[in-house]
Structure 1
Amino acid sequence: MIRAVIAGCGGYLPGAPVSNDALAAMHGLETSDAWIQARTGIRQRHLADAGATASDLGAIAAREALASAGIDAAEVDAVIVATSTPDSAFPATAVRIQAHLGIDHGFAFDVAAACTGFVYALSIADAMMRAGQAKTVLVIGTEIYSRILDWTDRSTCVLFGDGAGAVVLRATESAGGVADRGIISTHLHADGRQGGILHIEGGAGSTGGPGLLRMAGKEVFRHAVAKLAAVVDEALAANGLGHGDVRWLVPHQANIRIIDAMGRKLHLPPEQVVVTVDRHANTSAASIPLALVEAWRDGRIRRGDLVLMEAIGGGLTWGAALARF
């Protein structure tokens, strides 16, 4: 059978880090570094310049991913981009990145699943590669959330940051066992009945409104812990694996309390959970690939390691992906 192997990864964080105090001063927020850190674990984030686009950030991350894999852009058959902050309603941000990279063949499209977008995009790429529709795929999460935040809402605007992360998937012959490298399985869910607790109010959509993010934080937290725990168990049970088989948990970086809860659920010590929320804040669809590339660069994740990725986002959408590097 064919398995989608992660051949390389790359990431990009724009500009210098912006501390909590600097952010509060920049926007006149009545908050403090101590308040933000105690509730979220966030110390700083990166913010894109006014002229930057999601495709600009995504293209930089994609080039690094290709370089780390030793693969030329001409070999890429497909570009799949997860984003909630596209350059425009159309053409797709993926098509713009395709052009940035000089790719003039294959196909490209966007996936809209909010913070779960990267897991959704990874699942789609994996299925298409197993079906023989592509051999080399770029999967990218790229976000400029600073453009959709209400800077008068101190409960949400301090939570997010900008950035992009990417992986290169390569179709590889495999026996299909859990010991073989590649994406082992993905597990996706959605419940549109909960769409109102985390959404963008209008914007580029058909409903009008200012196009700003709205979130009922306590409700999102409540759903996150239960749904992520369930999908993690689903992924492991589907492959006959236990918590002790997981070498690394790479969670969506939304809130340190949720991340810590998932680590405890898997009985993993903190040193086996990749955490970047303190320095990146919540970069939505970019958060998992940015965490992956950091742990890959510094040598924590090694070839053969079993990695569990999980996320929840607006929709509600949630999911998990199990991969062996």
Structure 2
Amino acid sequence: MEHDQAPGGSAVNGGWATDPGLPGNGIPAMAGGAPGDPAGPVGPAEPERDPRDDEDAERPSRDRKQRSFWKELPLLIGIALVLALLIKTFLVQAFSIPSDSMNDTLLKGDRVLVDKLTPWFGSTPSRGEVVVFHDPGGWLPEAPSPSSNVVVRGLQKGLSFIGLMPSADEKDLIKRVIGVGGDTVSCKGTGPLMVNGKALVEPYVRPGSTACTPDMPFTVHVPKGRIWVMGDNRQNSLDSRFHPTLPGGGTVPNSDVVGRAFVVAWPVNRWDVLSIPGTFSQPGINAAGAAVPAAAGFAGALPLVLWRRRRLLAGAGPVRETAEDC
């Protein structure tokens, strides 16, 4: 009996032998052998990765970063100190209010920021500004002696040098500028305070205080290059009024001014901008100061005008009389 040869098989001894590479039904097997298994040839399984190998690979990188940070830390500290020193010297410095003489504008313990940049460009103090200035001499008692502990004393000097804390021997004051060079400042009885004949309305004076002290009337002509300063707590401020026998008659040289306090920075609930009160912008307050430059300008221009007039007359030549003039 003849048998038809089916595809994929061959007749051997009256039976069918399967191809060793094919399954019994002669259909090539697919990888996986079951629905859902991946198709394609199945290769050898990859060995599982040991997580410790990844950790070993990352450890040198972490070690390098840690070593790099500790190497750079001294450089970062050095840069920060240099920047702090430059800011303190040329830009802004923090000062602590040491007394009650500026109540209620400034309270004892407040920290203010002082602008030290504008004086480098020739700016001089203006009326109404709150300024920090060095003791002109004789205004403050002797500074307390520094700590006997060498470490504490060295630390304090270092931090004060870069502006992170006040110096133990620093003798600075803070007051409000009332008059500048050329001004006339006066006050009688309880006020008002007068500048160049104009009465000041002073909302910044502590409630309950008067503009000046009845038993200390004064009239002062502020010399050029100096300022007249007073505290906002008028009955508790040893300001310009109390130093008439010192050089300058109680005025402060512009060169002793450290800078203008422009903001209360600490504590947070006391944050405020120290602006110039509007009373110092009233019309006529600069009249006395402006008269001197105007007079000087007129005196300087007069010779030039006369010289020009003589030149014009000389160029015109002699004047001829006519019949009509006779």
Tell me which interval the TM-score lies in, with the shorter structure as reference length: under 0.3
Give the TM-score normalised by structure 1: 0.22
Instruction: Tell me: higher relative CO, structure 1 or 2? Use CA pairs within 8 A at least 6 residues apart.
Output: 1
Normalising by structure 2, report the TM-score: 0.22
Higher strand share: 1
Larger Rg: 2
